Every structure is written in structure tokens, then in C-alpha cells.
Chains A and B, each alone.
Chain A
Amino acid sequence: MNALVMYDHQTDTLWSQFLSRGVQGPLSGTRLEIVPSVQTTWQQWLQLHPDTLVPDKRGGYQFDSYEGYYAGGSAGILGESNKDDRLPGKELVLGAVHNDMARAYPFGAIAGQRVINDSFGGDAVVIAFDGSSETGAIFKRTVDGRTLTFRDGGANDLGVMLIRDQETGSSWQAFTGQAIDGPMAGKVLDRLPSHYSFWFAWSDFHPNTELFGSG
């Protein structure tokens, strides 16, 4: 099982990034609230948020020092306690924990579908995934008490992926959850915190995880 453990300057507690929880020290057991984030390309993010701020790289950081780790079959994997052979260890998944349920959506299974209407942890949810930029997000699809069914809405002229709900015909930005056209314009879907993970780490930290597409 391996992923970053970090400490805080104030109490010296050790925190597991993956479990978002203090694991040793005074704040052991305390949970950190997960803020939803989206992993995407600079190009996609810029289209969604033209007023974004970016840390100043001051000319550095041209290369990602983990390139070899991403690509290598088992490079960097040590101490797996729960080797789960349902997927190769370095297969990427979009993972989420919701109402004490863990579920993984493998990129390979969702890239072809783009939009998946699903239910998870007692809520109707929609998963949107753009394979070309490997951008994915999970939203609750119940708005003002009404559950919507989504399908692929293509992309706008800036290349921003859209989803469209069957019930009202409204168009929504797939990665902000904001309705931009139709009767629902202005509404925003609730996003569930999710993050990308290699399967080896996801299955290791969440041994009870469900795996989308595996029946």
C-alpha cells in the first residue's frame, strides 16, 4: 500500500493523503474534508475558467519527474497488501467514496461511453469522461428533486465537453456541472469528490471497492 503520508507543522500528526485522515499523532482519526477537483489539460481548464490563476513556475518545471513511474509496469509499487487482479496494477481509474461506498471507474471502460447514468451510495449519479483529454467527473443527477438522465452533448466550439439531459433538453458543461442552455440554465450539479488513481493503490486502500463494468 503506498501513497503520500504528510505531516502538519502545528501538531506533527501524520496524515494519509489517500484516506484523507490523520493516521498517527494527536489528530489521528480526524478526517480532512475532500475538496472536489478536476484533473485535465491546461487547454480544457482554460476554456472552462479563463480567469484561472496558476502558480508561477518561473521558467522551471518543464518535465514531470514521475513520467517513468506512470509508464513503468510495476515501477515504484512496494508493499501491496491486497493485490487485486481484476485490473492491471497501473491501470488508471476514476475513484470515488460516497456514503461509505467505494467505486472505481476504469478509464478503459468509460472512455468509449463518455456519459454513464449510474447510481452509487444511494444517489443517482452521472459520470462524464472525455478520453482525448482524460478528464472525468462525477455528479449527482438529481436537481430540485427531479432525477435527470444524461447523454453525450458533444462539445461547444471551444472544445468543452457538454452533456444533455433527456427530460428538459438542457445542455450542461460536463466538467463544471453547470447548465448553460435550456430550461435548466444556471443550475449546477452537485459534484462528488473523485480522483484518479492507479488500480493497485485504489484497490489497496479500498479493499471493498466495487469495480464498474465487472458485474
Chain B
Amino acid sequence: MMAGKVGYLIAIFLGVLVLAAIFMPQVRQLWLNLRAETVQVPDGSVVETGQTTLDLRIITVLGKDGIPAILNPQFVNVAEAMPQMEQSERVLGVSINGDHRAYPLNLLSRHEIVNDTVGEVPVAVTW
């Protein structure tokens, strides 16, 4: 009798685990959507009919600083950079007032934002 009940409980427990595994992405999506906020912003491009607005849904997948931005980037010159860089490696290049900087995409992918000052202009390099 007891063995039968335990068996049922184990079966139910396993069933719940399987269902949870199957529906986890949907549950997560639902949760994210419930917490999402919608803001209206002008769309920035126009057609003959005039400017339209966009409903921008702000969904928090990772919280603030979930991806750590770079606040004080340290730079090296070409001679020092060469051993760290592949020829075909992709970079985002910025030139301001004769100051040239190449931000490797593999670094940007890990940080999303580099706060920097280029040619005396404060910039955020975002990816």
C-alpha cells in the first residue's frame, strides 16, 4: 500500500519535472512579459503621412549591470595590440579629431558598452 503511494508520488514528481522542462521557456517568456513596460517613442523616420510612434516594450532579461559595461578602458598601441588581434577579427572603428580607436567586437559582445573619451569627446560605444 505504502509502496504504491510512493510510486504514484514519484511518477507525479517526474511528470511535473518533464512538464516544467518543456514549458520553462514559455513560463520565462510569460514572466518577462508580465514585468515588461511599454513606452511610446517617436519613430525617427517619416513617410509622407508624417511621423509615427513606436510602442517600445522594455523587457528586463538581465538587470542593471547584468552585463558589465567598461567604465575606464585601458588602451594599448598597435605594437602591443598585434599579438592579441587576428587579421580577420572584426572591430568597430571610431575617429574623432585625429584620435583613432578600434573596439574589437568580441570585447564589445562581452560588455555591450564602453564609456570612453575620443579626441576629447565623451562617447559611449554600444553594441
Contacts and interface: CB of A to CB of B under 8 A. Distances in A.
Interface string A52-77: 11111101011111100000000000
Q: DSSP class of B's interface residues: helix, strand, loop or mixed?
A: strand
Contacts of A78: 29, 59
Interface in B31-90: 37, 39, 41, 43-47, 51-52, 54-59, 64, 69-70, 73-78, 80-81, 84-90
A16 B88 contact: no
B75 A54 contact: yes
Main secondary structure, interface of A, reads loop
A28 B56 CA distance: 13
A43 interface: yes
Contacts of B76: 53-56
Interface of B: 29, 37, 39, 41, 43-47, 51-52, 54-59, 64, 69-70, 73-78, 80-81, 84-96, 99-107, 109-110, 112-114, 118, 121, 123-127
Interface of A: 1-2, 4-7, 14, 16-17, 19, 21, 23-24, 28-29, 32, 35-43, 45-46, 48-57, 59, 61-66, 78-79, 81, 97, 100-102, 176, 205-209
